[in-house]
Structure 1
């Protein structure tokens, strides 16, 4: 079972799976702002959506507490700009700055994916050539 709790003393949301911490989203409160700093999920829980649950929980909590959000964590930025309902949490004057960095992250991820695909294709060609020889 997955449970997410605000570990207020440590300034982080912790995700528990079967009673053990499986991931965290670190934050900082500055006045009426919540700075979302870094999301970390254990190796065994990557790709399970646990990071997304942490982020959604933090964003909902910020909304409930009437805090604006500064998404320094690129995973949080991806969530916010992919789901515009969360965009209202980011102060209007900061949106362009975070949107630009979000677009840079997307571009870098696309470049890495293209390189991975090129390596896979080159490996496949070598395997076929070796099999044909």
Structure 2
């Protein structure tokens, strides 16, 4: 079972799995803004998808406290720009700045996915398509 708590003294949201801190989202609050800085995952709990619930909790807390959000963390940018309701938390004058980096990250992710497909598999696929015409 996973539980997320605001560890206010350490300026981070912690995700607990079976009573242990499995991942944390570091943040900073300054001048009415919550800066979402980075997510750190315990090596034993990687792949559990804890980044999304950490970011959602932070965004909900920022909304509750009426704080603006600056999503420096890539997972936070993905949540903010992937769900328009969260975009309202980012100051209008900052949106293009973070959107540009989010778009570049998306292109980078797509390029990494393309590189994972072995070239021989692509050639074989192209050959089978040509032969079926």
Q: Deviations over 1:36-72 (max 9, x none)?
A: 0001223343333311110100000000000000000
Relative to total residues, which structure has the larger helix share, 1 or 2?
Answer: 1
Please state how far the C-alpha of 1:31 moved relative to its aligned partner.
1.3
Q: Please state whether the residue corresponding to 1:15 is helix, strand or coil.
A: strand
Residue of structure 2 in register with 1:111 after alignment: 111
Structure 2 regions of 5+ residues with no counterpart? 125-133
TM-score, L = length of structure 1: 0.86
Q: Distance in 2 between matches of 1:23 and 1:100?
A: 27
TM-score by length of structure 2 reads: 0.86
Kindly report the root-mean-square deviation, in angstroms, between the aligned alpha carbons of the 2 structures: 1.9
Q: Decide whether aligned partners of structure 1 residues 41 and 96 sit closer, same or farther in structure 2, where only a CA change above 3 A counts.
A: same
Matched pairs, number = 124
Q: Give yes or no for the alignment of 1:68 onto 2:71.
A: no
Look up the match of 1:32: 32
Gaps of 5+ in 1: 125-133
103 and 59 in structure 1: CA distance in 2 versus 1, 3 angstrom threshold: same
The SS at the match of 2:88 is helix
Name the stretch that deviates more: 15-24 or 39-48: 39-48
